């Protein structure tokens, strides 16, 4: 079986609560993580909630990276969804773990878009795209 993509579901615990409140810090950490992981950034948006918390997404040519923070619990949920073979999603994970000062992380990797093509190689983008 071959997969179109990989999705890493991450829960960061015991993060620095002040950092989790800071929309600009979160945005910069996410964008830097995408660069470190060799992702191609297409667009991004981040939103601060009242009284606190940040949600954001970085759309990448290879799919997306999203975050939702709960500063009151020192917790952040992150979704790293990548397609193709040029991106290094675990580098994104490690950068974000350090940037958020997480003391503990739970992670799970899923294969998305599974196809049994025998010996034929799965193309991540159709020819001519």
Reply yes or no on whether 68 is catalytic: yes
Per the CB < 8 A criterion, the answer to whether 117 and 44 are in contact is no
Q: Which two tokens stand for residue 102?
A: 């997480």
Reply yes or no on whether 94 is catalytic: no
Reply yes or no on whether 63 is catalytic: yes
- Catalytic choice (17, 48, 68, 94): 68
- Catalytic choice (63, 64, 95, 102): 63
- Catalytic choice (15, 34, 64, 83): 83
Per the CB < 8 A criterion, the answer to whether 65 and 78 are in contact is yes
Contacts of 66 (CB under 8 A, 6+ apart): 55, 56, 57, 58, 78, 79
Per the CB < 8 A criterion, the answer to whether 57 and 44 are in contact is yes
The residues facing 70 across adjacent strands are 75
Catalytic residues: 63, 68, 83
């Amino acid at each position: 079986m071959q997969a179109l993509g990989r999705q890493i579901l991450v829960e960061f615990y015991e993060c620095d609560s002040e950092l989790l409140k800071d929309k600009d810090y979160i945005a910069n950490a996410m964008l830097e993580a995408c660069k470190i992981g060799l992702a191609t950034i297409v667009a991004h948006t981040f939103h601060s909630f009242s009284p606190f918390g940040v949600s954001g997404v970085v759309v990448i040519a290879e799919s997306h990276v999203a975050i939702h923070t709960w500063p009151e619990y020192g917790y952040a949920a992150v979704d790293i969804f990548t397609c193709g073979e040029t991106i290094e999603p675990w580098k994104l994970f490690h950068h974000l773990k350090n940037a958020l000062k997480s003391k503990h992380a739970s992670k799970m990797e899923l294969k998305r878009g599974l196809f049994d093509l025998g010996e034929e190689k799965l193309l991540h983008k159709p020819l001519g795209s």
